[in-house]
């Protein structure tokens, strides 16, 4: 195979793995609390202000309710925000 053929094959394989990963995340979270849609591998890290995480949690709780799901990397985390949620 030429170098172009190998490159195309690798890109198709990477796209396939990305789609399978996204499909598994969507279908495995049916019984979980709502939350923002995670990106593959990095999860919701770009949606969190790492210098002020409580402010990020407050903003997400206003949008999704006091109990919501986040992905930190590929690790699923259920957050309970506020005294009423606990």
pLDDT tens digits for range 12-29:
999 888 888 777 766 665
Domain with 80 in it: 33-86
Residue 67 phi, psi dihedral angles, 5° rounding = -120, 120
pTM above 0.85, yes or no: no
Q: Which residues contact 69 (CB under 8 A, 6 or more apart)?
A: 29, 32, 33, 34, 35, 76, 77, 78, 79
* 20 and 4, same domain (yes or no): yes
Q: For 22-58, write each residue's pLDDT tens digit.
A: 777 666 656 888 999 888 888 899 889 889 999 999 9
- pLDDT value for 79: 93
Q: What is the rounded CA–CA span in Å between residue 39 and residue 5?
A: 28
Tokens of 86: 């606990």
Both 54 and 84 in one domain: the answer is yes
38 and 58 in a single domain? The answer is yes
């Amino acid at each position: 195979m030429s170098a172009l053929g190998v490159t195309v094959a690798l890109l198709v394989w990477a796209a396939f793995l990305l789609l399978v990963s996204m499909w598994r995340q969507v279908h495995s979270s049916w019984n979980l609390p709502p939350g923002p849609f995670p990106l593959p591998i990095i999860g919701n890290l770009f949606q969190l202000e790492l210098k002020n995480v409580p402010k990020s949690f407050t903003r997400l709780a206003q949008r999704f309710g006091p109990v919501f799901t986040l992905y930190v990397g590929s690790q699923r985390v259920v957050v309970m925000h506020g005294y009423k949620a606990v």
